[in-house]
Structure 1
Amino acid sequence: MARKDVFGSVMGAGAGAAEVRDVANYAVRGASRSIMQSFEELSKSSVVDLDPGLVDSSFVSDRIDDDDDEFLELLAAIR
């Protein structure tokens, strides 16, 4: 009769691997799963710095011209 991992109980290596697998399996269930999904969603929505010169102009023009008197009045009211 062959025994696997005869010195596992002495060295402590056999029990550690099983515990690691149990912890990894637990993390994908229940409330911790929803928290992990929330973290994944947050990591996907991140701020990226872009050089403005690399951004193409829009084919849609702004509704308010920035040199118009009405725009300057609005800007003064905001400040």
Structure 2
Amino acid sequence: MTIQAYIFLPDEIFNELQRRAPQPENRSGLVAEALRCFFATHNESSNELEQINLHAEELNQEAADVLTYQMSYEKR
């Protein structure tokens, strides 16, 4: 089943889409495939801030270790 949808695209994206897929049915297929690829590679919960927060304690410890090492190196 397919649903007709209206979307707004920047001019340069639309022009490139028309160039690469001049027929309307080809454009729909190309957009659908691009979205499938995007959805397959971008998990809903995998935004960068969530990932950083998930590992914040480990990242903070690593930063502290680096700073401690740098401070002890500078004292030499």
| TM-score, normalised relative to structure 1 | 0.37
Q: Which of these two proteins has the greater Rg computed from alpha carbons?
A: 1
Higher relative contact order (CA 8 A, sep 6+): 2
* Greater fraction of residues in helix: 2
